Amino acid sequence: MSAETDYLQSWFTSAAPLSLTVTSAQRSRARPRIGARWELGLCSFGWSNLGGRQRTNGVVTALVFDSRVWFSDRVVNRSQSPLVWQQFAAADSDPVLFRFTLNGEHVRLHADLIRWRVAWDADSFGYDAETEQLQFHVPGAGAGSPPAIMLTSFGPGAGFL
C-alpha cells in the first residue's frame, strides 16, 4: 500500500456522495532559442458532482465521474492580445469521463475525452497529504503538445444550492 492507494481506498469505503476537482498545467510548446515565438502555456479546470462507485462482485473497484473540463485557451476575441482572448470560456467546456482504480502502489486514471474521441491512462506519481491531491503526468492538450501535470482531489458531493 502507498499514500496514493490509501487515499483512493478511503473514498471507496466512505459513505459520502462523491465529488471531483481536477486541474492541469502544461508548459508552452516553444523552447528557448533565437527567433522563437512567444507562446502561452495551457491550464485546465474541471469538476464533477455526485460521482459513482463501480463495483465488481459487490466490492468497490473504481470511482467514476462524468465531468466538465474548461481549458484556458478558448478564444474569446482573437483581435485582442492573448491577455484578453486566452481565457476560460464558460460556454465551451469538454465532457470527460474519469475513472480511478488501484494499480499496484499507484492509482490508475483513465480519461475518456468525449468531444475529442480520445482516451488515455496515467498512473499517479505522488500524493500530497497536506492538500489531499493525487498527482499525474498526463498527455498535453493538442497535437505535438508537451505533457502536463494534473492534480485531482475528491470531496463529498451534495445537491446544488
pTM recorded for the entire structure: 0.88
Compute the distance between CA of residue 136 and CA of residue 14 in angstroms, rounded to an integer: 23
55: exposed, middle or buried (Cβ count in 10 Å: 0-12, 13-18, 19+): exposed
> Mean pLDDT score of the chain, rounded to an integer?
88
Give the pLDDT confidence of 40-70 residue by residue, as tens digits.
778 899 999 989 999 999 999 999 999 999 8
**pLDDT surpassing 80 at residue 77:** no
Q: Domains for the chain: give ranges and CATH numbers.
A: 3-30+41-156 (2.40.128)
C-alpha distances out from residue 129 to 42, 103, 142, Å = 26, 19, 31
State yes or no: pLDDT of 73 exceeds 80: no
The band of 11, judged by pLDDT with boundaries at 50, 70 and 90, is very high
Residues 6+ apart with CB under 8 A from 146: 26, 27, 29, 140
All three cell numbers of 113, joined, read 475525452
> pLDDT tens digits for 100-144?
999 999 999 999 999 989 999 999 999 999 999 999 999 988 778
